Amino acid sequence: MRFVKMQGTGNDFLLLEAQGDDHDWPALARAMCHRHLGVGADGLLLVMPSQKAQVRMRIFNPDGSEADMCGNGVRCLARYALDRGLAQLQDGAIVVETMAGLVTVWPTGEGMRVGMGIPRLRPEEVPVAVEMDPPLLDVPLAAAGRQLHLACLSMGNPHAVLLVEEPVEDFPLAEVGPQVEHHPLFPQRVNLEVARVRDRHHMDVRVWERGVGETLSCGTGATAAVVAAHLRGLVDHKVEVRLPGGLLWVEWDGRGEAYLAGPVDYICEGYWLGSSFPKAGGRR
């Protein structure tokens, strides 16, 4: 089974062309994404036909869970689909079907730009089990001996943003991240972003992704961090976000759709020689 490995600012993915849903994709994701026993990746991306758009994306995390949306992943998939002739530009863009809805992606000179949708700010939209009026900018939560105050929102998947004044490199994300991810406040688990505003146009962000752990980059996480900072009046509508894997650019005017831009690159391609297509419902 042929695969291609791609990355966007260090957020790496294995892409497979697939025709149907009748396979045990979670088991394949666990096997292929394993950093020592498989190829290694932050997620398995399925490039599939769509009846609603030019191409469809499904994404599975290394633990086998399925994500609704992935900003860096959809940028990689859009470039792959265009390069392989699986989709064509229409009005300069490609539309991708995701579990979070239809997403528009534009090629740029240095990468891909994607419409991330309108941030969802109500508790039931995140979801988070609190009774508060949106936006949710100060949700209290105790984790790893710390009292946190989180901004909670959805960018097609749930996010909790912790704004800090210390360098993000100094934050104990490996200790706090798992406890926040699995906290009872979040019935579908949550991604945690630790973010520091350097000035009104620059932020530093680290991300603990649900089902993955800490990653070098996260597109929805970078977007969520900028939205949270913008809602607090700390940044303007165009922000450069520095993550461990590189730079992403986020735009949000405070009302409508947010946009994410950044580079995408190929790493390698090859053949998976393990159990290629475990059938759904089969042995794991």
Output the CA angle 265-225-6, nearest 5 degrees. Answer: 15
Q: Does the annotation count 218 as an active-site position?
A: yes
Each residue of 121-131: pLDDT tens digit? 999 999 999 99
**pLDDT tier, 110 (very low <50, low <70, confident <90, very high otherwise):** confident
pTM of the model: 0.94
Instruction: Indicate if 152 belongs to the active site.
Output: no
Length of the chain: 284
Instruction: Work out the number of other CB atoms within 10 angstroms of the CB of residue 220.
Output: 30
CATH number of 2-114+265-271: 3.10.310.10
- Three-state DSSP at 275 gives coil
Question: CA dihedral in degrees (75, 32, 181, 104; nearest 10)?
Answer: 20
How far apart CA 243 and CA 226 sit, in angstroms, is 13
Q: CATH 3.10.310.10: which residues of the chain?
A: 2-114+265-271, 123-256
Name the active-site residue from 33, 76, 152, 218: 218
Whole-number pLDDT of residue 92: 97
For residues 69 and 53, what is the distance between their CA atoms, to the nearest angstrom? 15
Query: Sign (positive/negative) of CA torsion 214, 216, 222, 228?
Result: positive
Q: Cis peptide leading into 62, omega within 30 of 0?
A: no
State in words which class domain 123-256 has.
Answer: alpha beta
Residue 282 pLDDT greater than 70, yes or no: no
pLDDT for 120-161, tens place per residue? 999 999 999 999 999 999 999 999 999 999 999 999 999 999
Residue of 33, 70, 76, 152 marked active site: 70
